């Protein structure tokens, strides 16, 4: 599991399964978030072409990372997602199929939010 940042493009690579996720990889995702310049709705293209494998763990980590990018004022957009990832995100309502490219998610307010009682 790797991520490389290049301006307004993030390149995901490798094994995004439970076997491919390590603490070092999670640290890399954190550093990549710090490299994202806060913006007002500008887009961040996320190239998924080099993702070899992805499972539920990888999808969950990617989804959290995408939400964190949104909190920085950037709208992430998946480019070249593997079919398995695209179908899963569509099924969960995290893709906007009417956009020219597969968007990582619609607006934050359209994501399912579960309130936890205090």
The CA angle 110-60-40, to the nearest 5 degrees, is 45
Predicted pLDDT of residue 94: 62
Domains of the chain: 2-110 (3.30.750.24)
Inter-axis angle of helices 83-91 and 56-71, to 10 degrees?
70
Predicted pLDDT of residue 25: 81
Claim: this prediction has a pTM higher than 0.75: no
Assess contact for 46 and 12: CB atoms under 8 A.
Answer: yes
Reported as a single tens digit per residue, the pLDDT across 35-75 is: 888 876 688 899 998 998 888 888 889 989 989 998 988 88
- Please name the residues in contact with 53: beta carbons below 8 A apart, sequence gap of 6 or more: 15, 16, 17, 20
Take residue 66 and report the two structure tokens written for it: 């995408």
């Amino acid at each position: 599991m790797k991520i490389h940042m290049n301006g307004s493009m993030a390149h995901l690579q490798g094994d995004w399964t439970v076997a491919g996720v390590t603490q070092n990889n999670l640290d890399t995702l954190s550093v990549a978030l710090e490299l994202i310049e806060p913006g007002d709705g500008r887009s961040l293209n996320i190239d998924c072409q080099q993702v070899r494998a992805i499972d539920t763990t990888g999808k969950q980590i990617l989804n959290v990372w995408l939400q964190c990018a949104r909190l920085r004022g950037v709208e992430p957009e998946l480019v070249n997602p593997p079919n398995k990832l695209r179908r899963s995100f569509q099924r969960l309502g995290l893709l906007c199929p009417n956009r020219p490219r597969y968007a990582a998610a619609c607006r934050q307010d359209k994501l399912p939010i579960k309130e936890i009682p205090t």
